[in-house]
Structure 1
Amino acid sequence: MSHARNTEAMQASLRCGAQTRLGEPCRAPALRGKMRCRMHGGAWGSGAPDGNSNAVKHGYFTREAVEERRFVRSILAEAESLLSRLPDANCNTRKNGTQLNAGTEQPSSHLTYDRK
C-alpha cells in the first residue's frame, strides 16, 4: 500500500488481558466501554441472559446439604459398626439356648408361596 496507515488509536487502546491457552495475556483491543475483547466476553449478548433458568442453583452443594449428607454417612457408619459387633445372625440357637438343626424348621405360612 502506498499510503501510511493510522494505527495510533488502536495501539493506544486498552488491551483485553484475558489469559490465553498459552498462559499469556490476550493482546486484542478491548471493546469500547468494556474490559475484554469480543472473543473473551466483551461483545454484546455474551454471557448468560438475565433470568436464565438454566443457571438456577440446584442446592446440592449448599452448606446444609453437605452437612446433612455428612451426618447421614456418620449414622450409617455407626450403624454398620454396631451391626458388626452383634453376634452372627446365622447362629443356630434359640432365645432359650436350645440348638436348632439346620433346615428342619419350616418357614411360617406367610413367607411361603404355594403355586396351585
Structure 2
Amino acid sequence: MKLADWIAGGTRPELNGHRMFVRQDGDGSPVTLVHGFPTSSHDWATTVPHLVAAGHRVTTLDLLGFGQSDKPPRHRYSIHEQADLIEALWEIWGSVRPRWSPMTTASPSPRSCWRATPAASPAPPC
C-alpha cells in the first residue's frame, strides 16, 4: 500500500495532549502493532491485511515524534511515555487490551510489551 493511501485510512486523535496518527482495520480479536526506530506504522502495511483476514482488529499507530504523529520541539521522549500513549489509545477507543503487542525487531521494548499484556495473561514472547 502506498504511503498516501495508508495515511488516508487513518485518523489523528488527541492522546495525552498530542495528536497521534492511528489506523484501525478489521474486526475480531484485537492486535496492536508498534513500529520500531526510526520508522512509522507504514512498516506494517503488508502485514495488516493478513491479520485482518485471520479475524483480527488491527490497531497501528505512529509513535510520538514519528510518521504522521506530532513532533513536539524540544520534547524529552521516553519509551515509558510511548507506552502511556498506547494505553491512552486503548482507553479512549474503548478497546479491550490486546493479549500481545509485537514490535519490530529493530528496537523491542520489554516494558512496552509487558505493559501491553494484561496481568492475568501469560507472559508474552517478547
Report TM bin, short chain.
Answer: under 0.3
Higher normalized contact order (CA 8 Å, seq sep 6+, divided by chain length): 2
TM-score for the superposition, normalised by structure 2: 0.22
**Which of the pair has more CA radius of gyration?**
1
Which is richer in strand? 2
TM-score for the superposition, normalised by structure 1: 0.24
